[in-house]
A and B are shown apart, each in its own frame.
Chain A
């Protein structure tokens, strides 16, 4: 069995364990490559029908193509979609024009998610995070409990072994379910290629530049690249030494910015 097959089987196992153990789960969806891989795996896990809603946290700084993709995918995959905007923060004038990226990301993503959690009372959220993205994510569990304040107690995480996960939560708490934890960026692309998963065109070169990771348009930089095929992306990744999220400004605002964001509920 190939390593990619092993990853697929493990992710499907995690999806099914989550659905069997939680009463009210949801899956945040950003329309990026990891998110779309998650949808694909969920379709496989549940024999073609995703039995829980997908949640898009719309920062109002989305690339137009991502919104177009959202509309297309909703029909294509028969998705039950919930769109969330932190209107209150936008009314207060929170935005990239006036505020630093860490504040904006916290308000328009983490706080928005927090509001949605309070409203929908989800007990489990499926995320697309991977260990290789960032050193704080490297320490994550497949099932990672969050307190009622949406905080991550990374100093005292429960043990996790032999496919036995933390599946019990107190009222108000939720568990982050992370089926892609063991995948690398390269695995994602190899899998997209193996399965033929539809993804946004922004990942491919247009006028000599392409995006490697997609976030809010004011703080997401494209990279110089002429690659316009999946094979090309895979080859480019095998030789690059630049980290994937280098183009995402909020991570690099200050030392340990990512850790601070994540302890407060950022994905």
Chain B
């Protein structure tokens, strides 16, 4: 069966001093703006199976004259072999299996041009089990065409694809109501579907740019208008609508600097930090802080192989390589930012996720969270709601897992601090993939991020790194039967903090909960013995108390802190520090009027302050800032101690105790709460 080819004459040899074809660089350097390159709009076509996606794409290519020679003929031949009239879908469905089953298997990309504009179509399959390919296609698209069969109307996949588009950040959507020929080209049918899809997409905050009646098979309103059948349609054709939105994309928006580090190269004397500008721009001389270690340095140079003159500035979306002025420890996964606009750094993530894998994602099951170049071990710690694609409402029953193709609002906890942004602030650092084993199983966008009011101090010291413990927080919680937490009591001197702290400690301990009081005065005997009562020293006192409380809570204890802590800023910074570590922090305002406290005066301090024997006494000659959003307020001037203690206890138990089913399997002490 093997047969050779007719051999052409052997090619001639080349001279010994061979040099290839050389051309000068184009005028103005490699990155000169303008030039003959043109923007290209990538479009994803989505919709329910058999609503005509491949047919539409075939039609777009044929009408715009974008098919290479022979393609149309090949499709005709393939159609004949399958015993069908010309099937436009065969232009794309190159695989044998697809032609046999008449469905598109995988993402296909094909370019076409119309009126001087370049488009790239990403064909996404509609068959339910192939939704991961649709996600792959849609994540890369700037515009989506959502197809609806005029005869069948909105189907399950129509809605699910709409839901996924909103998650993937494709906000520019054109709806094409296809197969108008099957409903007699009737306007009232079109209007019913238009209303229905606009309402559905509206619930996802997507306003379609156009809703257009078409027939891909007949070629109506794709490129040509069809005045015979659709004379009532005064809106644009599909291609006119695409043209109107073309070229307005590809521009990564300006935003705060987020420089994702991919690698550090030391191939020669240079130490090159390579990465991507997820957002913002970088200039030589910029002071950059690298998270999560918060090491600071300055950009010394932008490495520019192949450029005539070294670059001084690089903008959003670009790949970049820099050297730094001061040699600090930086590695893959770090994120560079400018000091005035830092990202969030936290072990807790609240997100809306989609899941693609056949095996559901279960509560507490380990997954790898990949965000930019960061990769951290994480666990799903709460499923707040699973979104019903049909009605866009929360499924009522509480859930233990997110199943294949479901969308859910969840909370994840990471083993190490994750650097991120809310998706609506910086989209590139506000979205992530979830990987289980070697495969990516889903993804999500971060729906909530509490930005720190002020940036914590950059860490100084060359060799500091994060040492990761072997025992995870989850394992500790499971072992002790409860989670660690910081219960921060704040209020005037004499408001009742110490009394309540002692009561709470005893109530918790009797329930098998590991607990410890951190008392302001006691700390000043040891850890803070070097501190006085100046504003700076008092702030440092609070910072140390906060750090100690956090560490103890990380070890699994419920720490009850009893400090006046008069300033909002300082309390907030303890809260932020706990959040970064993934520790629950609860601010409890012990509220009693200054008159009441002064009347109690258990240690005679108010008396001394009034006499001027104590300077800078809170409430007398130093301010107390009332908490704006405390997690709990205890009115110790109005309610009895036992009432306050009781309310405090139930608040804390809600915060730290594990759910029934988690406790049963928990080894060691702490079964009884």
Task: Using CB atoms and an 8 Å cutoff, list the residues of chain A in contact with chain B.
Answer: 1-6, 8-10, 12-13, 16-17, 19-20, 40, 43-49, 51, 63-65, 68-69, 71-73, 95-101, 103, 131-132, 134-136, 138-139, 141, 154-155, 157-164, 166, 168-170, 182, 184, 187, 190, 192-196, 198-201, 203-204, 217-219, 230, 234, 241-243, 246, 249, 255-256, 259
Contacts and interface: CB of A to CB of B under 8 A. Distances in A.
A158 B36 contact: no
Contacts, number: 241
B433 A161 contact: yes
Given A6-B317, A20-B332, A139-B108, A241 B68 contact: yes
B319 A13 contact: yes
A194 B94 contact: no
A139 B107 contact: yes
Contacts of B70: 243, 246
B30 interface: yes
Contact of B370 (A51, A103, A138, A164): A164
B21 A196 contact: no
A164 B433 contact: yes
Interface stretch (B8-16, B45-53, B513-521, B574-582): B8-16
B94 A136 contact: yes
Nearest to A11: B319
A2 B10 contact: no
Leading 9 A-B pairs by shortest Cβ distance? A161-B139, A135-B94, A168-B438, A164-B433, A68-B18, A12-B319, A196-B25, A159-B132, A243-B68
A49 B303 CA distance: 12
B319 A218 contact: no
Q: Which of B33, B96, B107 has the most chain A CB within a 10 Å cutoff? A: B107
Contacts of B19: 72
A195 B68 contact: no
Given A64-B13, A98-B2, A132-B111, 17 more contacts: A2-B34, A2-B37, A3-B250, A5-B37, A19-B263, A47-B270, A99-B4, A135-B108, A139-B95, A160-B136, A162-B431, A162-B432, A164-B443, A194-B37, A218-B5, A243-B70, A256-B95
B533 interface: no
Contacts of A193: 23, 26
B94 A259 contact: yes
Nearest to B323: A47
A117 to B, nearest CB: 19
B4 A44 contact: no
A138 B8 contact: no
Interface string B26-38: 1000110111111
Interface in B123-182: 132-133, 135-136, 139-140, 168
B111 A184 contact: yes
Nearest to A252: B70
A243 B25 contact: no
B272 interface: yes
Contacts of B370: 164
21 contacts: A3-B38, A4-B35, A45-B319, A46-B267, A96-B4, A99-B4, A100-B5, A131-B110, A138-B109, A159-B440, A160-B136, A161-B136, A161-B168, A161-B433, A162-B433, A168-B437, A182-B120, A190-B35, A193-B26, A194-B35, A217-B8
A199 B315 contact: no
B406 to A, nearest CB: 15
